[in-house]
Amino acid sequence: MLALDFMQRALVAALLVGAVAPLVGVFLVQRRLALIGDGMGHVALAGVAVGVLTGSSPVWAALIAALVAAVVVELIRTSGHSQGDIALAIIFYGGIAASVVIISASPKGTPGTLTAYLFGAITTVTQSDLWIFGALTALILVTFALLRWRLFAVASDEEYARSAGLPVLPLNLALAALTAVTVVVSMRIVGLLLISALMIVPNAAAQVLGRSFRSALFWAVGIGVLSAVGGVGISYAANTPSGGTIVLLAIGCYLTAAVGSALVGRARRSAHLEAEKHGHEHGPGCGHEAIPHDDHVDYVHDGHRHAPHLGHYDEHDPDHVQAAGEGDSGGRR
């Protein structure tokens, strides 16, 4: 299947989308805007319809529509107007309604055209699409590399970011524009109805697996690439729409991660002993001997070792002691 031109193009497009969508999506997850990409997909579809009707490139038309929607949506959100939510709904549904009507009116429009744009199709990536996607992906990666900690800061505490003099509105607009560009890069392979899923679901799985913002991002990109490339492959073999296949794979990853971590968590909890109630906060200079230990510091308290855990202290995990090859003088007995 790799010998087929269209498959090569589809796999390259999948690689780009799988890597980029979770990078942008993590900030949407952080800001509780998981569904905003969905709305932008709706508006981009209206751009596609105009492209189909006029015979111009649907990708460029979609990009313009999505970017305009991104800016308008962000400004409406920032205004905090009481009717803002309804305004967003009107924009999003207006987009999808217009696109359906315009496509049906265009001579080249068929239900098949619409389905391919909504749910993704591997045969539709053209060589010129690929160049555009490549350039847009490079743009997203550079912007992400430059702005990621500022976007993180604004998304985690907007008020603090403002007090620190960060340009909050421009950063939020930049994120909206990144979302719009990602939507367009994904439109061929994932489809405009499902693109939001590839921004959000790999991050949902990564939040289960990662231990920091940074490591969760690596997981998210890995899962994104795996789902997108794997989804395209399965889509070819099983003759299914690529977008749906990709998203189902990503959801499979999430469920595996969630169930796996729940099982591991249960196993850990049964081997977990909380130290006695503790009116004292261990820390440097607290008077108790501190023993650095892997990623945390234990404190020797009244002859036994306390390890910090979730705002309380655990009696030292006996497995750790064995692993460290120390006598179990203070561990659990």
Partner 1 sequence: MSTGPGAVIELADAAFGYGERPVVSEVNLSIAPGEVVAVLGPNGSGKSTLVKGILGLADQFAGQVRLFGVPRAEFREHPRLGYVPQRHTLSGTVRATVTEVVATGRLSRQRWFGRFSAADATHVERALTLVGLADRARVDVADLSGGQQRRVLIARALAGEPEVLVMDEPTAGVDAANQHVLAEVLARLVAQGLTILVVTHELAAFADLVTRVIVVDNGHIQFDGPATEFNDRRQDVLHDHDSHHHDHELTAPARQVVPRSVDVPRPGSRRG
Q: What residues line the site for partner 1 (CB under 8 A)?
A: 26, 29-32, 146, 149-150, 152-153, 155-157, 159-166, 203, 207, 210-216, 275-285, 287, 290, 292, 295-297, 302, 304, 308-312, 333
Minimum Å gap between C-beta 79 and partner 1 is 12
Residue with Cβ nearer partner 1 (22 or 51): 22
CA 32 to chain CA centroid, nearest Å: 11
B/e letters for 127-159, b = 16+ CB within 10 Å, e = fewer, are eebbebbeebbeebeebbeebbebbbbbbeebe
Residue with Cβ nearer partner 1 (104 or 215): 215
Six-digit token string for 71? 């800016």
Minimum Å gap between C-beta 163 and partner 1 is 4
Minimum Å gap between C-beta 254 and partner 1 is 15
Residue with Cβ nearer partner 1 (80 or 111): 80
Q: Are 161 and 153 in contact (CB under 8 A)?
A: yes
Minimum Å gap between C-beta 22 and partner 1 is 12
Minimum Å gap between C-beta 258 and partner 1 is 14
Residue with Cβ nearer partner 1 (42 or 282): 282
Question: Which amino acid, 32?
Answer: R
Rounded alpha-carbon distances, angstroms, from residue 195 to 56, 60, 113, 283: 23, 17, 17, 46
Residues ≥6 apart with Cβ < 8 Å to 202: 21, 22, 25, 219, 220, 221, 223, 224, 227, 250, 253, 254
Minimum Å gap between C-beta 78 and partner 1 is 15
Residue with Cβ nearer partner 1 (112 or 284): 284
Residue with Cβ nearer partner 1 (136 or 216): 216
Rounded alpha-carbon distances, angstroms, from residue 253 to 2, 166, 222: 25, 36, 11
Q: Are 126 and 73 in contact (CB under 8 A)?
A: no
